[in-house]
Amino acid sequence: SFGEDEGGEDDLEIRPAVVTVMGHVDHGKTRLLDSIRSAKVGEGEAGGITQHIGAYQITVPVDEVDRTITFIDTPGHEAFTAMRARGAKSTDIAIIVVAADDGVMPQTVEAINHAQAADVPIVVAVNKIDKEGAQPDKIRGQMTEYGLVPEEYGGDTMFVDISAKQGLNIDSLLEAVVLTADASLDLRANPDMDAQGVAIEAHLDRGRGPVATVLIQRGTLRVGDSIVAGDAYGRVRRMVDEHGEDVEEATPSRPVQVIGLTSVCGAGDTLMVVDEDRTARQIADKRNARKRNALAARSRRRISLEDLDSHLKETSQLNLIIKGDNAGTVEALEEALMGIEIDDEVQLRVIDRGVGAVTETNVNLAAASDAVIIGFNVRAEGKSTELANREGVDIRYYSIIYQAIDEIESALKGMLKPIYEEKKLGQAEIRQLFRSSKLGNIAGCMVLDGIIRRNAKARLIRDGKVVVEEMTVSSLRREKDDVTEVREGFECGLTVTYSDIKIGDVIETYELVEKPRD
DSSP 304: P
Interstrand relation of 255-261 and 209-218 (parallel, antiparallel or unpaired): antiparallel
Q: Which stretch binds ligand GDP (CB under 6 A): 7-15, 39-47, 125-133, 394-402?
A: 125-133
For ligand GDP, which stretch binds (CB under 6 A), given 127-135, 146-154, 290-298, 338-346? Answer: 127-135
For ligand GDP, the closer CB: 128 or 235 = 128
Q: How many residues does the chain have?
A: 518
Which residues face 311 on adjacent strands? Answer: none
8 A C-beta contact, residue 47 and residue 122: no
Q: Closer to ligand GDP at the Cβ: 169 or 180? A: 169
Residue 29 in contact with ligand GDP, rule: CB under 6 A: yes
CB of 253 to ligand GDP, least distance (A): 24
| 420, 475 contact by CB (below 8 A) | no
Q: Is 250 within 8 Å of 202 (Cβ atoms)?
A: no
Instruction: Find residue 246's DSSP bridge partners.
Output: 240
By the rule CB under 6 A, 30 interacts with ligand GDP: yes
Q: Which is nearer to ligand GDP, 31 or 67 (CB)?
A: 31
**Consecutive H or E run containing 373:** strand 371-376
Comparing CB distances to ligand GDP, the nearer of 26 and 394 is 26
Number of H helices, E strands in the chain: 11, 28
Residue 20 found at the interface with ligand GDP (CB under 6 A)? no
Q: Give yes or no for residue 485 binding ligand GDP (CB under 6 A).
A: no
Strand, coil or helix: 476: strand
Residue 473 parent element (H or E): strand 465-478
98 counts as binding ligand GDP under rule CB under 6 A: no
Nearer to ligand GDP, 133 or 516 (CB): 133
Q: How many angstroms separate the CA atoms of 185 and 244, rounded?
A: 31
Q: Does 37 bind ligand GDP (CB under 6 A)?
A: no
Single out the residue of 17, 22, 88, 164 in contact with ligand GDP (rule: CB under 6 A). Answer: 164
The set of residues, in sequence order, having a beta carbon less than 8 Å from that of 11 and lying 6+ positions away, is 190, 192, 193
* Residue number with CB closer to ligand GDP (63 or 132): 132
The footprint of ligand GDP on this chain (CB under 6 A) covers a number of residues equal to: 16
Residue closer to ligand GDP (CB basis): 99 or 283: 99
Q: How far is the CB of 179 from ligand GDP (least distance, A)?
A: 22
- Indicate the burial class of 145 (C-beta count within 10 angstroms; 0-12, 13-18, 19 or more): exposed
Is 243 one of the binding residues for ligand GDP (CB under 6 A)?
no
Interaction between residue 31 and ligand GDP (CB under 6 A)? yes
Which CB, 128 or 287, lies closer to ligand GDP?
A: 128
Of 132, 155, 245, 259, the residue nearest 207 (C-alpha)? 259
Q: Taking the complex as a whole, how short is the minimal distance between the CB of residue 254 and ligand GDP, in angstroms?
A: 25
Residue 340, CA distances (Å) to 87, 370, 374 in order: 35, 20, 16
The reply to whether 38 sits near ligand GDP by the rule CB under 6 A is no
- Using an 8 Å Cβ cutoff, are 226 and 276 in contact? yes
Determine if 117 is a binding residue for ligand GDP (CB under 6 A).
no
Q: Does 52 bind ligand GDP (CB under 6 A)?
A: no
In single-letter form, the type of residue at position 118 comes to A
Q: How far is the CB of 243 from ligand GDP (least distance, A)?
A: 23
Region of 147 (left: φ > 0; alpha: ψ -120 to 50; beta: rest) is left
User: Binder to ligand GDP among 157, 163, 319, 495 (CB under 6 A)?
Assistant: 163
Q: CB nearer to ligand GDP: give 128 or 457.
A: 128
Query: Is residue 414 a contact partner of residue 399, using CB atoms and an 8 Å limit?
Result: no
Which residue, 25 or 117, is less far from ligand GDP as judged by CB?
25
Q: Which stretch binds ligand GDP (CB under 6 A): 47-55, 126-134, 268-276, 457-465?
A: 126-134
Minimum CB distance to ligand GDP smaller for 30 or for 144 = 30
Is residue 130 close enough to count as binding ligand GDP by CB under 6 A? yes
Question: Do the beta carbons of residue 51 and residue 243 sit within 8 Å?
Answer: yes
Angle between helices 277-295 and 360-369 (to 10 degrees): 90
Residue 31 CB, shortest distance to ligand GDP, in Å, is 3
22 lines the binding site for ligand GDP (CB under 6 A): no
Our finding on whether 27 is near ligand GDP (CB under 6 A) is yes
SS3 379: coil
- The single residue among 127, 220, 359, 384 that binds ligand GDP, judged by CB under 6 A, is 127
* CA separation for the pair 22, 108 (Å, rounded): 8
Q: Please check whether residue 468 is in contact with residue 489, taking contact to mean a CB–CB distance below 8 angstroms.
A: no
| In the complex, minimum distance from the CB of residue 159 to ligand GDP, in angstroms, rounded to a whole number | 15
Q: Which residues of the chain form contacts with ligand GDP (CB under 6 A)?
A: 23, 25-31, 75, 127-128, 130-131, 163-165
